[in-house]
Homo-oligomer: A and B are copies of this chain.
Amino acid sequence: MHFLMRADLETVKRDGFTIFTKGSEVRLPQVRCAEATEEIGPVDVVLIAVKATANRELERLLPPLLGAETALLTLQNGLGNEEFLSERWGAGRVMGALCFVCINRTAPGVIRHIDHGSISIGEFRRPASARARALVEAFRAVEVEAKAVDDLARERWRKLLWNIPFNGLSIAAGANVAEVLADRNLRALMAEGLDAARRLGHDIPDSFADWQLDRSETMGAYKPSSMIDHELGRPVEVEALWGEPLRQGLAAGAKMPRLEMLHGLIRHQTARGALRGG
């Protein structure tokens, strides 16, 4: 396994990775890391973990990694990333994964795993394949909870039904999860997302919104990561999380006035954030 590193390269070359995970410390003292993908060359699978806002850099980064059978597995948030990869390197290579994990990089080479930690892996517009199941086994072998999913797009929409209102309202209102839960727009936004997902052919029951809300009651003053990014002036994946779901929903005939407001306001606010932070 090779790691393409930027700012952390020298530290990780010297010290490897340190992972604090649920009360224990895991050290990986020897890590193969590279400064450029040319140093790595063709691989079986590329795990893509850059922000969607940096996707254009993949046009330069990916080609040296591609052999005839190389799979591209995006671990990114929201919609549009599989499409981005598919348009450039062919749908056959593209896989996607959803990460349900609370994790922070707290210093160069140091990762703090706070809560949760499962990964759902699927194929782009196809049911789970042998390579998807092989990747699931590879994660399980190192004690990462993993499963294969047959309908990746549906799983993305299920996750978005939480991310759209919670990450969205928290950025737009400057509110934490507890405050968002008290906002009467929350359910209406979820209902817009659910209607869009169903029009796009994803079978998600009404009870799913209740389950999402129940699950969130315990989070209290937790701040979604994209709100922290916004507060620190870092790029926020505005189009992957709100713009692309809005466009797909509208194209499928859904009415999404609340999401339209949210997307417009977050676009304004993060444009200022980027100026402030960058």
- Output the nearest chain B residue to A263 by Cβ-Cβ distance: B185
Which residue of B175, B262, B268, B272 contacts A261 across the interface (Cβ within 8 Å)? B262
Q: When the two chains form the complex, which single residue of B179, B184, B260, B265 contacts A260, counting CB atoms closer than 8 Å?
A: B184
Q: Is A11 an interface residue (CB 8 A)?
A: no
Assess whether A173 is interfacial by the CB under 8 Å rule: yes
A67 at the interface (CB under 8 A from B): no
B179, B184, B188, B269: which contacts A174 (Cβ < 8 A)? B269
Bound form: Cα–Cα A179–B261 in Å: 14
Q: In terms of DSSP, what is the predominant structure of the interface of chain A?
A: helix
- Among residues of B, the one whose C-beta sits closest to the C-beta of A184 is B264
The answer to whether B184 touches A268, judged by C-beta atoms less than 8 angstroms apart, is: no
For A264, what are the chain B residues with a Cβ–Cβ distance below 8 Å? 169, 173, 183-185
Residues of B within 8 A of A258 (CB): 257-258, 260-261
Whole-angstrom distance between the alpha carbons of A44 and B265 in the complex?
47
CB pair A174–B272 under 8 Å, yes or no, is yes
Check if B173 sits within 8 Å of A260, measured CB to CB.
no
CA–CA, A257 to B256, complex, Å? 9
Cβ of A152: which chain B residues have Cβ within 8 Å of it?
Answer: none
CA distance A111 to B67 in the complex (A): 73
**Contact of A172 with B265 in the complex, beta carbons under 8 Å:** yes
User: Do A269 and B173 touch across chains, with their CB atoms under 8 A apart?
Assistant: yes
- With both beta carbons as reference points, the residue of chain B lying nearest to A192 in the complex is identified as B257
Residues A151-190 near B (CB distance < 8 A): 169, 172-175, 179, 183-185, 188
CA–CA, A172 to B179, complex, Å? 17
Are B262 and A173 neighbours in the complex by a CB distance under 8 Å?
Answer: no
Closest to A175 in B: B268
Contacts of A185 in B (CB 8 A): 260-261, 264
Q: List 9 A-B contacts (CB under 8 A).
A: A169-B265, A173-B264, A173-B269, A184-B260, A185-B264, A257-B257, A257-B258, A258-B258, A261-B261
